[in-house]
Structure 1
Amino acid sequence: MNLFSGTINNLENSIQYASAKNDVISNNISNVDTPNYKAEKVSFKSTLENEMTGLETKTTNERHFNFGEEGNNPYRIVKDSSTTYNHNGNNVDIDKEMSELAKNQIYYNSLIDRMNGKFNSLQSVIRGGN
């Protein structure tokens, strides 16, 4: 039996994604004045598309899907080398990074709140509803 039908695993993966995104954004902000630094971002969609290309699934029923091994990160960190915003070759847009940091913090906090709610529900069941 899977605890909460995999919800905790999904929340854990989402928290790891948000944490990785926070690290990348913080690194970009700290290198805003570094000459020739190219901003990084956490990419999910392109990783998913790359993983889906040439994917062979093995099923026991036509309704089942096998999308690869578990435990692999559903995201990757990519460097944006296509642009330059500053005179020193740097492409960090501090306003964009600060905005992304704020959005990511809200996302992370909502995930933590949801995870706490799941554990509170489990604790209530263990205690017999008290």
Structure 2
Amino acid sequence: MFTGSNYNLIKGALDASSMRQEMISSNISNVNTPGYKAKRVDFEETLKRAMDGSAMKSTHANHYGVSDVMSVSPKVKAQTGNRVNEDGNNVAIDTEMAELSANAIYYQALSTQISNHYSSIRSVLR
């Protein structure tokens, strides 16, 4: 069964997946825009660092950082490492299509977990 924290983690992952879908769509739509830099959503790596204790801790309300696992939220970052075209654009359509497929599978797995959880609760209540 999900606890409140597990539910919130899956909700955060669903939010990250939704944001990732938007970024991938934006990257694809700007594939021919001169100077456009591809963007990525960072969530899973930050969550992993928070869970293993290697994330930077927030020591004040105005500081950036992770105070605990529940405070991890998706962030949009510029993608680095791609080949930059002559026009300054670094969007690789093959990469974007692969990311799109992987994100769809990821979102489906998360939504299936939530759905199964609520199905089990409904069966207990009957």
TM over 0.5: yes
Change (3 A) 1:71 1:5: closer
Q: Structure 1 residue 5 and structure 2 residue 8: aligned?
A: no
Cα deviation 1:64-93 (Å, max 9, x = unaligned): xxx626764432101136655322110000
Once the 2 structures are TM-superposed, how far is the Cα of residue 13 of structure 1 from its aligned partner?
Answer: 1.2
CA contact under 8 A between 1:85 and 1:93: conserved in structure 2?
no
Once the 2 structures are TM-superposed, how far is the Cα of residue 53 of structure 1 from its aligned partner?
Answer: 2.3
What secondary structure is seen at the aligned counterpart in 2 of 1:116? helix
Change (3 A) 1:22 1:89: same
Q: What is the distance in 2 between the residues matched to 1:11 and 1:20? A: 14
Which of the pair has more CA radius of gyration?
Answer: 1
Give the total of aligned pairs: 114
> What is the TM-score of this pair, normalised by structure 1?
0.73
Per the alignment, residue 55 of structure 2 pairs with 52
Q: What is the distance in 2 between the residues matched to 1:40 and 1:20? A: 11
Identity of aligned residues (%): 33
Cα deviation 1:101-130 (Å, max 9, x = unaligned): 000000101111111100101111111xxx
**Structure 2: unaligned runs, 5 residues or longer:** 60-65
**Aligned-CA RMSD value:** 2.6
Once the 2 structures are TM-superposed, how far is the Cα of residue 4 of structure 1 from its aligned partner?
Answer: 2.5
Change (3 A) 1:13 1:46: closer
Cα deviation 1:30-67 (Å, max 9, x = unaligned): 10000000000012335857x932555xxxxxxxxxx6
**Structure 1: unaligned runs, 5 residues or longer:** 57-66
